[in-house]
Structure 1
Amino acid sequence: MKYLLVLLFVGVLSCNQNPNKDEIVSVTDLSKVDFTDEQNVLLDVRTPEEFAQGYIPNAINVDVNSEGFDAEIKKLDKEKTYYVYCQAGTRSSKASSRLLRNGFKNIVNLKDGYSSYKK
């Protein structure tokens, strides 16, 4: 019984120490992030056409639905914090999952995407 409790305790600790995280941030909180700090990257995962129609300043565009998405994200520094957005939140969730699977450590999604920024 004592060993079972120790194993359970160790399991709980290891779950809580997962360095990978996928968080959600509001537009208000996003506006407080310093994107001149090279550790913070704003990643727009919409199509290039959507990006050309408007984007959040300092964003880089990597279309999550393009065939080259995985190749493009492999060029990025996995230790930086990525603030990911799309139009409404669906594609950014998909992109965040792919980033985490590829070893990225800190991923933050913009709640309700670019549409919330435009309001």
Structure 2
Amino acid sequence: MSAKTIPTVLIVLLLWGGAVSCQSKPEASTEIAQSEGVVNADVNVAAFAALIDTSETGLLLDVRTDREFAMGHIRGAAQIDFYRDDFQEELAKLDPNVPVYVYCRSGNRSGQAAKMMKSMRFKTVYNLEGGIGAWAREQPIEK
């Protein structure tokens, strides 16, 4: 990510966080765990789209099955099936210093994958709340 896009992303996240904190439903809030330069966050579609649009080095990762991926995915996504026996080994091949933007069908598998990546010392992981279903209601998908 270039030096001039970092402030833009931070502003988007701060504005979004302020808007979300005014909502009455706690499940709609974003939880961002940040310590020692590590970011692990669940973000909504708007924030996720802004993050992947401004990232120059990040990896967009779909953790659904091959069949699900073929039915539609976010443009530019790489895919590693969460249910593969070697899923964790495949994650270990990725650069933990590169931001990862992860999603699945509903946010469950990708949330688990994000926790795995955090335990594997990935520095920046963003999980799409609501998964591809939420994305498809607001953004285009590719087949």
> Which of structures 1 and 2 has the larger relative contact order (alpha carbons within 8 angstroms, sep 6+)?
1
What letter is aligned with 2:78? I
Distance (whole Å) between structure 2 residues aligned to residue 49 and residue 35 of structure 1 = 29
Which residue is 2:124 aligned to? 106
**CA 83–51 in structure 1, closer or farther in 2 if over 3 Å, else same:** same
Alignment correspondent of 1:55 = 73
Provide the TM-score with structure 1 as the length reference. Answer: 0.79
- The match for 1:18 is 36
Q: Tell me how far apart the structure 1 counterparts of residues 111 and 63 of structure 2 sit (CA, whole Å).
A: 10
One-letter identity of the residue aligned with 2:53:
D
Q: C-alpha separation between the residues in 1 aligned to 2:112 and 2:35?
A: 23
Counterpart contact for 2:48–2:126, Cα < 8 Å: no
* Cα shift readout 1:52-104 (whole Å, capped 9, x = no counterpart): 11100011101112111111111111101101100001101110111111111
From 108, 116, 119, the counterpart of 1:90: 108
The percent identity for this pair of structures is 33
Whole-angstrom CA distance in 1 between matches of 2:114 and 2:122 = 9
Q: Distance in 1 between matches of 2:49 and 2:128?
A: 11
Paired residues, number: 103
Select between 22-31 and 81-90 the one with higher mean Cα deviation.
22-31
Gaps of 5+ in 2: 1-33, 138-143
Runs of 4+ in 1 over 4 A off after TM superposition: none
Larger mean Cα displacement after TM superposition, 28-37 or 105-114: 28-37
With 91-100 and 20-29 compared, the bigger mean Cα shift is at 20-29
